Structure 1
Amino acid sequence: MSKNTYSAFRIHKDDQGHHAGIEQLPKPVPGDGEVLVRVTHSAVNYKDALAGTGKGKILRTFPLVGGIDAAGQVEASSHPDYKAGDAVIATGWGLSFDHDGAYAQYLCVPGDWLVAMPEGLDARSAMILGTAGFTAALAVHRMLVNGQRPELGPILVNGASGGVGSMAVAIFARLGYEVVAVSGKAALHDWLTALGATRIVGRDALSEAKRPLEKAEWGGAVDSVGGEMLAQITRTLAPNGNIAAIGLAGGHELNTTVMPFILRGVSLLGCNSVDVPAPVRRELWGHLASDWRPGQLEDMLTERVDLAGLPDVFERMLAGQTHGRVLVEID
C-alpha cells in the first residue's frame, strides 16, 4: 500500500473467465454521506467462498472486491454520525454484491451501512462473530419475538459445525436453552459440546420422518441446510415452536405439507441478514457484545488468514473441510 493506493482481493468475470486475486486500487475519497474505513479485520463466510470461487451467483457486477464482513476505524467521514477514529462494523447491505466489499485495506460505504462498535467488542472479536454471529442473533431474535421459550423443548441446530450453526448453539446455550446439535462430523462432537450442545445427533436422525406429522421432538430449530432436512424438521416440531431458516446448503426447495403449520401452530421464520433495518441491527450487535455473547467466543475461532490465504480457505470451506469461524487479518 502506498499513500494513494491499497491492497484488495478483487473478483473478475470476463473473457478470461472467473479469476480473483490481490490488486492495488486507488484510495477512495468519501462522497456525501459516505465513510472511509481503514479495515483491520474481516471473516470468511460460505457466501464469500461462493463469490470468491465463482461457484455461486453472488456478485451482481464485476469486477468487485469480495468480503461481506468488515471492522476497523473511520479514517474520513462525510456522514454526521461518524468521525475519524471511530470504531465501526459493516456487514451485509451491498457488500460483495453490487458494492466493493471488505477484503481490502480500505472500504468506502454509505454511513447508514455502518454500526458503531458496541462496548464490549473490538474489531477482532466483532469479526469472529461477523455475519455468522449476526445471522444467528437474528434467528434468536425472531424466535424469541415469536414466543420461543425453553419450556417448549430443546432447540435443534442443523448444520451446527458451520459458522452460523455454531453461533446459534452457543447463543441459545447462553440463554439457558437445551441445545441439540446436528453434525455429521464425529471429530467435532467435543467441540460442539464445549460450545454448549447438550446432545449431538447425526444427520440420519432427521431422515426417518416420512408422514406429514411425526412425534414432536424439538421445541424449535435453527436450520442452515434447507431442502429435505428442513422438511423433516417441520414434521417433528412441538406445538407453537419456531423454525428459523437461514441457509440452503442442502437445497432451496421445500417439500412438506401445511399440517405442521395449521395443526401444531409451527412458524417458519425466514432470516435475511443483509437488509436488516438500522435500529434492529444496532440492537442485535448490542446483544452480541453483552448478554448474548458466546462465552466460548475464542474457541469458535478455528483459523486466521491474510488476503493471500483466501483462495485456499474458499475451496476447503466449500468442500466441508472447515468449521467454526475463519478470521481474516487484513494487515
Structure 2
Amino acid sequence: MALRSILGLSILAAFAAPALPGDSAPPAPSAAQQRLIGEYGPATDLLEIYEAGGRLYADGHGLHVQPLESASGLKADGGSVTLDGARLPRRDIGAEVVAQIRAGEHGDPAALRAAALRATPPAEPPAKRAMDLVPITRFDPTIKLDIRYAGSDNFMGFPLYERPAAYLQRPAAEALGRVQQALKAEGLGLLVHDAYRPWFVTRMFWDATPPEDHMFVADPARGSRHNRGCAVDLTLYDLATGRPVEMPGRYDEMSPRSYAAYAGGTSRQRWARDLLRRAMEREGFQVLAEEWWHFDYKEWADYPIGNTPFSALPD
C-alpha cells in the first residue's frame, strides 16, 4: 500500500537520512514509561508522549518537545493524561483509519477480484527490462515471510493473494539476500510482509476503498513499484527468538508513526528502524518517506507493470 496522506503531528521530523545508530541498541524504557508513550487528544490535535535518552517528552497540543516532568498543566499517571484539567483520551490513529476504510468498503471480495481481473493496466512505453520475478527466499531461506495480503490480517480484512509468497525482480531479490547476510552479524533477520503485487490487486484496493479514503492507496491508473516487482515491505526479526523487532509503528498502520522520520516512540524502536534503513540503503534500496517499512529498489523504473497472479508464478 502507498499512503498518500496521513494525519500530522508536530513531532514529525523533516525527512532526511537517519543519524547512524550506536553499536548497540538503546535500553528499553521502563514499564511505567511504556504505559504513557503514545498519542492522546481529540480530532487531529494530538499530544505525543515519547522517550528519548531515557526521558519522556511531550509534543503537540500546545507543547513543543517539553520534558514531561516540567510540562506545565500536564499530568500523566498510569496511562491517563490530563492537560490544563481536560482529560485527553489515548488514540490509535492507525486502527481508526483501518476501521474507517473497512466500514466504507463496497463490493464483496469475489466480485472485486473478477472486476479487477477484467480491467487493463495502464499503457506504457516498452520497458527496458523484461520481468524476471523470483521467490525472495531462494537467495536466503532464513528470510521469513508474513504475507498479510494472503490472509485477512490486512487493512482490507480479506485475502487478496492466492498463497503466502513473495517475489522480486532477480537483481532486487539478490540484493535483499545480501541485506539478510549483513544483518545476521547483528543477530537479526528480515521479515517480509509484501513484495511483488499484481496490478489487479492494486485495482482491488482502489475499487473497494471509499473515494474519500483514496489518499491511502495507490492509484491503479499509474500503477505502483510493487506492481513492477521492485518494492518490498519488511521489518526485522530476532534470529535467536524468531520474534519481530519492535518498531515505532505497526506495518500498514496509516498513522503519523508510519513516517520514516517519525521522532516519537522510543529510542530503541527508532534505532531498529534506522538500522533497517541503513542496511537496505547499502544494497540499493530507498525508503518511502511515508512508510518506514517500504523500500524501492534502484532500478524499479526499468521494469513494466506486472499483472501475473501468484498462481502462475513459481513456488
TM-score by length of 2: 0.29
More strand by share: 1
Higher relative contact order (CA 8 A, sep 6+): 2
TM-score by length of 1: 0.28
